[in-house]
Amino acid sequence: MDGDRGLGSTEFAAAEKELVAEVLAGRVERFYELVKPCERLVFITAQEILQNEADAEEVAQEAVLKAFRNLRLFRGESKFSTWLYRITVNEARMRLRKRREVSLDELMEADGAEETTYAPLQLADWREIPGQALEQRELQTQLAAAVASLPDNYREVLVLRDINGLSIAETAEALSLSLPNVKTRLLRARLMLRDSFIAQCSGSTRGAVGKGRK
């Protein structure tokens, strides 16, 4: 599973660089072409951090406008999308902080406690949900609820890495975290997501997910 699901990455980077240069040279109407490929994931990033659709849309718009106003600061060392996700994460965190009126330190609590032992739910027969089962609205809702149940710092990593498909390095960059830190959080996030999802499923849709389904 490679994190980079994009086009041929060197050609993509070259095209992107050219587009950035054009916008900076005055063809500002082309800015949206930079945003379009990642607008869905910008919204999802905001949505998964904030857990509120109206706030998420506003934050996504703010992030895009901020990227537009600050395009000169984009160095091109990373992908435009990674840079935009980083702005989005920061905007969403600020909004969250305002909403909760807690300090940022509290929000990004230390990772010291993350080495605690984990005991997975023992469900040896729960192996696979066929992709087509996702046509069911209920399963989508449960999966979203499982993601929503994760603590903030794990959810951020999971959203960027597993939902948006960033590499570990890009995730680290977007969140200003070290690589080992991203990996530790990702491990915890994935294990918790799995447990939470199983709990959601066994709570209400035995029939939809269980072994009986082909």
Partner 1 sequence: MISLSCEEVWRQISDYIDDDVTPGTRRLLEAHFAQCRHCAALVDSVHNVVVLVADERVFTLPAGFSERLRQRLELQISGKRSDGS
Judged by the rule CB under 8 A, the positions of this chain that interact with partner 1 are 1, 3, 28-29, 31-32, 35-36, 39-40, 43-44, 47-48, 53, 57, 60-61, 64-65, 68-69, 117-118, 120, 122-129, 131, 134-135, 140, 143-144, 146-147, 158, 162-163, 165, 168, 183, 186-187, 190-191, 193-194, 197-198
**Closest distance to partner 1 from the beta carbon of 153 (Å):** 15
Phi-psi region of 26 (alpha: psi -120 to 50; beta: other; left: phi over 0): left
Closer by beta carbon to partner 1, 60 or else 175: 60
Closer by beta carbon to partner 1, 106 or else 180: 180
DSSP secondary structure string for all residues of 7-41: S-HHHHHHHHHHHHHHHHTT-GGGHHHHHGGGHHH
Closer by beta carbon to partner 1, 53 or else 109: 53
**Closest distance to partner 1 from the beta carbon of 104 (Å):** 26
Closer by beta carbon to partner 1, 108 or else 114: 114
Phi-psi region of 33 (alpha: psi -120 to 50; beta: other; left: phi over 0): alpha
Q: Which of 160, 210, 155 is CA-nearest to residue 188?
A: 155
Closer by beta carbon to partner 1, 120 or else 203: 120
**Closest distance to partner 1 from the beta carbon of 119 (Å):** 9
Q: 66 φ, ψ to 5°?
A: -65, -40
Phi-psi region of 56 (alpha: psi -120 to 50; beta: other; left: phi over 0): alpha
**Closest distance to partner 1 from the beta carbon of 194 (Å):** 5
**Closest distance to partner 1 from the beta carbon of 1 (Å):** 6
Residue 186 to residue 190: CA distance in whole angstroms = 6
**Closest distance to partner 1 from the beta carbon of 151 (Å):** 16
Angle at 113 between CA 109 and CA 118, to 5 degrees: 130
Closer by beta carbon to partner 1, 12 or else 68: 68
